[in-house]
């Protein structure tokens, strides 16, 4: 047991994509980081090794975010190894795309188990355990506002993430714990790029005023601010998309 009183972050989905970029950025900011993963231990171990090689502190813990016992054990591990929990970034997510008329309802249930139930399970432990001065940051999507055809089920699951985030901010009145959601636009992650041709990605990039799609680092920069200095932002959804309408 470390027993340190330094700040500690849990990042779900922290082995890849936005979650990994957030974990790396928070570690660079000086936080000890617990990376929660569910499937690929090799990726999680690589993320931990990268943080440690850069001089940071990190630990990988396997946890299905929709399993309340596993999530409780995840928070236990953070407290046991690093002394507590100050920041929770809930970046774990599943994306299933199909028109409403055609979507596989089994796939819909699987996605909602991670995106909706998982956010509630992680949020419940975070609400109980995050220390004063801390932050809870949930990852949503700009598709809740863009209303792109084919994204109805995914957008609906992330709209639930936003609703939970804003209500939880109010439920934690007096605790000095902020709760916000970040809503990335198209971002160069495996989750977004899967099944898209280079030409389609270029078309999407051309629609953005910045002339490109986002990077995980773009989103991690905002997460870093919400986790640390941006204490007067609370109960908000921040659209992190380069101005894409």
What are the residue numbers of the active site?
154
List, for residues 53-63, the tens digit of each pLDDT value: 999 999 999 99
* CATH tag, 8-239: 3.40.50.720
CA atoms within 13 A on the CB side of 32: 20
- Which of 23 and 191 is assigned the larger pLDDT? 23
Asked if 77 contacts 34 with a C-beta cutoff of 8 angstroms, the reply is: yes
**pTM of the predicted model as reported, rounded to 2 decimal places:** 0.94
Average pLDDT over residues 125-153: 96
How many C-beta atoms surround the C-beta of residue 153 within 10 A? 22
List, for residues 217-234, the tens digit of each pLDDT value: 999 999 999 999 999 999
pLDDT cut 90: percent of the chain above it: 86
Lowest-confidence pick of 58-62, 86-90, 240-244: 240-244
Q: Domain locations in the chain?
A: 8-239
For 3, left (φ over 0), alpha (ψ -120 to 50), or beta? left
**What band does 4 get if pLDDT is binned at 50, 70 and 90?**
very low
Q: What pLDDT score does 75 carry?
A: 98
């Amino acid at each position: 047991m470390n027993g340190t009183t330094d700040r500690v972050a849990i990042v779900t989905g922290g082995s890849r994509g936005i979650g990994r970029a957030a974990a790396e950025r928070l570690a660079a900011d000086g936080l000890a980081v617990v990376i929660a993963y569910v499937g690929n231990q090799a990726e999680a171990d690589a993320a931990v090794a990268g943080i440690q090689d850069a001089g940071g502190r990190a630990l990988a813990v396997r946890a299905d975010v929709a399993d309340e016992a596993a999530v409780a054990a995840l928070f236990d591990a953070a407290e046991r190894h690093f002394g507590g929990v100050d920041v929770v970034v809930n970046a774990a997510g599943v994306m299933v795309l199909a028109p409403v008329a055609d979507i596989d309802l089994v796939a819909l249930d699987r996605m909602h188990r991670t995106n909706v139930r998982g956010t509630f399970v992680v949020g419940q432990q975070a609400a109980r355990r995050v220390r004063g001065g801390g932050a809870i940051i949930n990852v949503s999507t700009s598709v809740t506002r863009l209303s792109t055809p084919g994204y109805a089920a995914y957008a609906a699951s992330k709209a639930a993430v936003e609703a939970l985030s804003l209500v939880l901010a109010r439920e934690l009145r007096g605790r000095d714990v902020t709760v916000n959601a970040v809503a990335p636009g198209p971002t160069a992650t495996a989750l977004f790029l899967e099944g898209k041709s280079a030409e389609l990605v270029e078309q999407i990039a051309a629609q953005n005023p910045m002339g490109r799609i986002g990077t995980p680092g773009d989103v991690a920069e905002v997460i870093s601010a919400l986790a640390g200095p941006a204490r007067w932002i609370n109960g908000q959804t921040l659209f992190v998309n380069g101005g894409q309408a």
